[in-house]
Structure 1
Amino acid sequence: MSTSANSDVQDVHVAPPASQSFLLRHWQKLAALIIWIALAVGVAWYVRRSDSGFAGALLNLVYLMQSSAWGPIIYIVVYALRPITFLSAAALTISGGFLFGPLWGVVYTVIGANTSAMVAY
């Protein structure tokens, strides 16, 4: 007579409690939405303030990232928040090489990618 250990176990599907709020179930999506809205508002505000259009504002941002001590810090923070905002890792990695050169681009990308992995978990 052969008995299976799984014969006593029943598959029971447990639905999440109805009392669990929408915010608890979807907080990551809402955080991403808030970040994207803040980013869009910030870009629109900066483009209007700079009076140089979107291309000029983008060139100013590149100059800020390359010439300021805040550039690498901003890059690492943006890379760390990547899993929440659903940004492309490839695009950020390529931009790191473009902004900081091959050596420092790799260094900042590795730091940002490891921080991003910690944020994801």
Structure 2
Amino acid sequence: MGKLKLELIIKILLVCIAVGTVIFLAKALNFQSLLQQALRWVQSLGVLGPIAFMVIYNLATILFIPGSVLTLGGGVLFGVFWGSIYVFIAATIGATVAFLIGRYLSRDWVSRQLEKYPKFQAIDSAVAREGWKIVFLTRLSPLFPFNLLNYAFGITQVSLKDYILGSSGMIPGTIMYVYIGSLAGDIAMIGTKQSTNPTLQWSVRIVGFIATVAVTIYVTRIARNALEKN
């Protein structure tokens, strides 16, 4: 019992250190500026640009680096159609890698903890049966942290197939942000007030709010049914 508590404390400390390090680096290194420089480099590569763009996007996803600048940059560099495709492919691959890292590094430990609490085990199993729907709804909502969710879903029983299928919920938000980026017209304009579109931003927020409410109600219902059966 003492050993398990020690493992839990160590894992919590490691997570806190990792998050703190990312926040510190984000402020110290000015990630937005670095990503804009990376986008300029991608722009100079010509036909190899899309490949380099997706590799950078994958690394950003795995390393907890916010991808909004890259998503907007996809619109600037490749236009709405191809930009949306490249961003979606890159985000899905990066999210899947993070999911697998979370699964193979933490799932065994989580399973051991759930064995001590049958009710939570029942909830975890119930959520897994509706996995793709839950993943889909959370992907629709920008209120759920994208990078953190990738690892969090890895420690649940959600299958890899359902996880990838549910990731299609990123499509509406991806298209909207890529379109906003395409309006900027220049990498230097990314993130500035001149590049924003209030109507689209409010559309994203409204869709995200509805998805947040839906997933909250849905998961609550699944958990309640699982507890009643248990």
Q: Give 1 or 2 for the bigger CA radius of gyration.
A: 1
Structure 1-normalised TM-score? 0.48
